[in-house]
Structure 1
Amino acid sequence: MSSPQHRNEPPTEVQELLNFISQTAGVSAQNGPGAAVPPPAEPPPPPTGQVNGMDGSGSAAAAASAAADAGGGTAEEEEAAPAPRHQKLIEIGATVEVQQVDPNDPLNAAQSWEDLNLPDPIMKGIYAKGFAHPSRIQGSALPLLIQRRQNCIAQAQNGSGKTATFALAMLSLVNPTQRVPQALCLGPTRELAKQNAAVVEELGKFTGVRVNLIVPQANLSVLDGQIIVGTPGKVQEQLRKRRLRHDNIRIFVLDEADVMIDKNNNMGPQVHDIRRFLKNPNFPLQTLLFSATFDDDVKNFAMQLVPNANIITVRKEDLTLKNVNQFYMDCTDDNDKKLMLLELYSVLNIGQSIIFVNSKQKAFELASHMKEYGHAVSLITGTQKQSGDFQMDVQERDRVMEEFRSAKTKVLVSTDVLARGIDVPQVTMVVNFDIPLDRRQSAGWSGQYQGGEGLVEFATYLHRIGRTGRFGLKGIAINLITPETMPLMEQIRTYYACEVHKLERDIELIEQKVRSLRDDLRKT
């Protein structure tokens, strides 16, 4: 936990903010863990894209942006194992513990892609993306997933290369000559499912493997791809209607698994129903659960759901991202927060920014408020039907995401539909207009904090700020705090033992210096 004197040292926070922005806006990480390196001088020419039902998400811009989460980087030497059962690995400054099914079986992490003995078409896809070495999570997990075909429950930091880990596990298992579904990957949102499909398609572009996307309003006329990627509700529907074959599926992946298997979440029953469809006496089903966060209850349930699983975990204190500098700004109430965003707007436009709120209604109101003052912002929320006029259809969600990925828009107001997994490398700043709240711990919760303890949704906070600071780049997170919500800020500091500095309200000085730094960076 940070000491009181650290919490009350504001003189350097503005300079820290400027330093972080200067390293994020338009600059690539150099030789950092999880950072992509330049591709070969003459990569093999890519074939025609093979993602079905993508509704435009298979475009070059969308696929390239989404595939950034593949995250290869410079491999670093492992620490020596202090005990035979657990090995300690360091990934982006965090302590990673690998608990193997067989404690006597030594873990030989892959230091290079060649160590994995992957087929040549997969290797061509990896190197065409410019990933020179496996990241820490990839080097630790892939030998267990590919060479031993074992189950795994993996928790790793945002931006560490989790997506490429399970994408390569699926690609290495499926048979391209058999035009039937052989791998199934589920994600909690439409946007994340589309992103994951694009990553698989990019890495598998030379394999002949087809990817089908199963999300609302996708083209589902032909479902003969070897790899199926989708959301739980729509996949469950296709299985029940017998439109999706499941008798050859050998690997089942849950991305952002903690939210999908949570028994208190609507997706939990859907995932369990899908899992029942995948039972096949002819061969074992390999099951992989990935997320940046697993609380103790969900992790225990995951271990029951996935027997004989290798478990990769990160210490809770190491979860807050080292390359995301966290700040808070004092505001009197929500109206003052809106005024603060208007003042911050010019800074939000340096790079790209996401503003998170706790409800769909507030997202629409905040976006409308900023537009009334002449500020260009885009908006994305879920599509669940609710009373009132606050609705957004899937076509609008797709359009908003495509524009944001291609940097046509700079500032995005969002509910937690974008909190998990979405990767837009240009995002340099995340603003929490609201601190995420745990609805289950507050009787009569209405979307507005009324005081009390134990209300922070810690996992969601971590996922939100993880939308910036990807793959070794620097990012910043600003929390807008009122006197009533200051206890929530203290909960976050205590839970993650992290520093959250106060940021003074000198927007003119911040903007002037940040723009100067941005101009200098463009000249390099």
Structure 2
Amino acid sequence: MSSDTPDAAPVGGSLADRVSKPDAPAEVASEDGARDGAGDKLGGSELQEPDYTVEVKLSDLQADPNNPLFSIQTFDNLGLDERILKGLSSMNFRKPSKVQERALPLLMSNPPKNLVGQSQSGTGKTAAFVLNVLSRLDLTTEQSQITPQALILAPTRELARQIVGVIQVMGQFLDGLVIGTAVPTETSIRPARMDCSVVVGTPGTVQDMIKKRIMNPTQLKVLVLDEADNMLDQQGLGDQCIRVKAMLPRTIQVVLFSATFPTHVHTYAGKFAPSANEITLKHDELTVEGIKQLYMDCNNEEEKYASLIQLYGLLTVGSSIIFVKTRASASQIESRMTAQGHTVASLTGGIEGSQRDSIIDRFRSGEAKVLITTNVLARGIDVSTVSLVINYDIPAAFENNRNTGEPDYQTYLHRIGRTGRFGRIGVAISFVGSRQEWEMLRMIQTHFQCTIDRIDTGDWDEVEELIKKTIKNSRAQAKFNQ
């Protein structure tokens, strides 16, 4: 986009300098270095404790907030199996996070109650629902060890595999724990029977396995939907989740967790998980504060690519994710960059399962430092080394497969959250290549009440210095807070 665009910000200025950004909340790191999401082996980031209040809404008006288990201060208060406590200790979880203090007593009460939980990434959601799942398993007989008792659904195979990793670490001392992964495969060959105590998978594959009697759902006690707003809002996934739930016992405990819950999805979640307890953050606390947001003016798609090449040296300082709107764009950019001698990887929904696993594993290990992807990796994926996110295309909202002209606010929020857990400092750069993208970025700034600063690409040495300084400062603060 040219510099004579109406209302363009001055060089080095903000997108809308009349909109001020409130002071970012102080970052409060876990004293014990606990890790949520992916563990150490998968390069997960440390659990963060932003300064906020967890609100609790009880479905039972007779519930007693003075009950000792209304909130817990230690995991010992839950009466957990010693082997689970040992698993928690191996993950450096010494005490519950603020969300876990309130969520765990509600999750683990008996008789089981449904729960709808909204909490920022990196605050312990994954560990909370995994802890509940493990505590409800009966592994006393050989038959119980191979009969599914808990089902966790995720929107992508990458997130499903990450959750499996958390269960493996937390449940490593539980004799007889068998975990099954139900995700799409590149072959039609499936096991004759899903022999495991916990199943983690994607809705379509799980639905298919139940239909074909590969998976027996009759003994399931817990159903968890991770990234629930995305699962229930997308037409395909939402329909599949409904069909899966209809195949499960009516007495099953339903647990929904997400970092965001738009109003219309929250209303539907109440029907999917009836009479549920709720833990929530106020909407105005779900912001992008603490993430340094920048944008670059580009006249066209070719200038976007040229800017990406100029930034390549910065992309490899740590690890970086480049978000594009289509699989074709990802493939094209990867091909062009590779031909120019740059080392990049591309991961989209069009790539076969085992190859996708290999790509994300290379990215986690640091073997591949630059990853080009679509929104398949916008949610839930935790890789602590990611220091920079590029919005090559501004995420647009669609309704009935038509572009509404507005941005997809939740996708933007989740995308830039891949630079680090919420409450930490990260760097996100958006490329603006058309008037529509310009307007969408203005809307994003207004929606989140934040400042998005323009980068002057007239001096690339200055651009490099600015971004390196920001990344260095974020790392220094993270190290200081540990």
Does TM-score exceed 0.5, indicating one fold?
yes
Which of 486, 497, 522 aligns to 2:449? It is 497
Q: Distance in 2 between matches of 1:494 and 1:31?
A: 24
Segments ≥4 residues shifted beyond 3 Å: 7-13, 30-36, 62-69, 93-96, 218-222, 509-521
Q: Distance in 2 between matches of 1:415 and 1:35?
A: 35
Q: Select between 264-273 and 418-427 the one with higher mean Cα deviation.
A: 264-273
Aligned to 1:186: 153
Which of 225, 238, 259 aligns to 2:230? It is 259
Which of 170, 181, 199 aligns to 1:213? It is 181
Structure 1 counterpart of 2:416, one-letter code? I
Q: Do the aligned partners of residues 404 and 38 (structure 1) sit closer, same or farther apart at CA in structure 2, a change above 3 Å counting?
A: same
Aligned to 2:6: none
What is the CA distance between 1:175 and its match in structure 2? 1.1
Unaligned runs of 5+ in 1: 1-6, 14-29, 40-61, 74-90, 384-391, 446-451
Q: Distance in 1 between matches of 2:440 and 2:422?
A: 28
What is the CA distance between 1:12 and its match in structure 2? 10
Q: Does 1:241 align with 2:212?
A: yes
Aligned to 1:109: 71
Q: Select between 413-422 and 93-102 the one with higher mean Cα deviation.
A: 93-102
CA contact (8 A) 1:163 1:196 kept: yes
Q: Do the aligned partners of residues 106 and 99 (structure 1) sit closer, same or farther apart at CA in structure 2, a change above 3 Å counting?
A: same
Cα offsets for 1:474-498 (capped at 9, x unmatched): 2111111135111101111121222
CA contact (8 A) 2:42 2:365 kept: no
Give the aligned CA root-mean-square deviation in angstroms.
3.0
What is the CA distance between 1:276 and its match in structure 2? 1.1
Q: Do the aligned partners of residues 164 and 254 (structure 1) sit closer, same or farther apart at CA in structure 2, a change above 3 Å counting?
A: same
What is the CA distance between 1:9 and its match in structure 2? 9.7
Q: Distance in 2 between matches of 1:432 and 1:36?
A: 33
Aligned to 1:126: 88
CA contact (8 A) 1:317 1:497 kept: no
Q: Do the aligned partners of residues 72 and 336 (structure 1) sit closer, same or farther apart at CA in structure 2, a change above 3 Å counting?
A: closer
Cα offsets for 1:413-454 (capped at 9, x unmatched): 0001101111111111111001111121774x4xxxxxx74x
CA contact (8 A) 2:119 2:281 kept: yes
Count of aligned pairs between the two proteins: 443
Structure 1 counterpart of 2:383, one-letter code? V
Q: Give the TM-score, by structure 1 length.
A: 0.78
Q: Do the aligned partners of residues 277 and 216 (structure 1) sit closer, same or farther apart at CA in structure 2, a change above 3 Å counting?
A: same
Structure 2 counterpart of 1:427, one-letter code? V
Which of 417, 427, 430 aligns to 1:476? It is 427
Which of 380, 384, 387 aligns to 1:425? It is 384
Aligned to 2:361: 402
Cα offsets for 1:3-27 (capped at 9, x unmatched): xxxx8794799xxxxxxxxxxxxxx
Q: Does 1:299 align with 2:266?
A: yes
Q: Does 1:195 align with 2:167?
A: no
Q: Distance in 2 between matches of 1:36 and 1:375?
A: 38
Q: Do the aligned partners of residues 144 and 339 (structure 1) sit closer, same or farther apart at CA in structure 2, a change above 3 Å counting?
A: same
What is the CA distance between 1:244 and its match in structure 2? 0.7
What is the CA distance between 1:115 and its match in structure 2? 2.6
Cα offsets for 1:31-57 (capped at 9, x unmatched): 934575289xxxxxxxxxxxxxxxxxx
Unaligned runs of 5+ in 2: 1-8, 16-25
Which of 499, 508, 511 aligns to 2:464? It is 511
What is the CA distance between 1:138 and its match in structure 2? 1.5
Q: Distance in 1 between matches of 2:13 and 2:161?
A: 43
For residues 287-366 of structure 1, the aligned pairs below 5 Å read: 287-366=254-333
Cα offsets for 1:67-93 (capped at 9, x unmatched): 837x656xxxxxxxxxxxxxxxxx614
Cα offsets for 1:347-388 (capped at 9, x unmatched): 1111100000111111111112222322111000003xxxxx
CA contact (8 A) 1:259 1:265 kept: no
Q: Distance in 1 between matches of 2:371 and 2:450?
A: 26
- Report % sequence identity: 36
Structure 1 counterpart of 2:118, one-letter code? Q
Q: Do the aligned partners of residues 66 and 97 (structure 1) sit closer, same or farther apart at CA in structure 2, a change above 3 Å counting?
A: farther
Q: Do the aligned partners of residues 490 and 513 (structure 1) sit closer, same or farther apart at CA in structure 2, a change above 3 Å counting?
A: closer
What is the CA distance between 1:269 and its match in structure 2? 1.7
What is the CA distance between 1:514 and its match in structure 2? 6.5
For residues 16-35 of structure 1, the aligned pairs below 5 Å read: 32-33=28-29
SS in structure 1 of the partner of residue 87 of structure 2: helix
Which of 131, 136, 139 aligns to 1:168? It is 131
Q: Distance in 2 between matches of 1:357 and 1:130?
A: 36
Q: Distance in 2 between matches of 1:380 and 1:36?
A: 33
